[in-house]
Amino acid sequence: MPDMSASASLAMTHLVPLAQEVDQNKVTPGVLGFIVFAVMAIAVWGLMKSMNRHMGKVDFKEKSDAGASGENPGPAAKG
């Protein structure tokens, strides 16, 4: 079975010069990165606005403890 560490080190010696050829001053997200970020920001803003609108429609009324404990039975429990 071949030695895996030898093949990994051989691959690294071939890939490191390729990585050094990239000019670090020219690598930027560019226009596409800005467009993707802007679309995501608009989507999050729209989702938050929609959630706020839906939460405003919620009418939550909590039952009292007396009704939950059985002190005030409903019409089905009578008779």
- Asked if 72 and 66 touch (Cβ cutoff 8 Å), the reply is yes
The total number of residues written for the chain in this structure: 79
pTM above 0.75, yes or no: no
- Report how far apart, in Å, the C-alpha atoms of 1 and of each of 6, 8, 11 are: 12, 14, 18
Which ranges of the chain would DSSP assign to H, the alpha helix? 4-20, 30-57, 65-69
Q: Could you read off the pLDDT of 24-45 as tens digits, one per residue?
A: 777 778 899 999 999 999 999 9
% of the chain with per-residue pLDDT over 90: 30
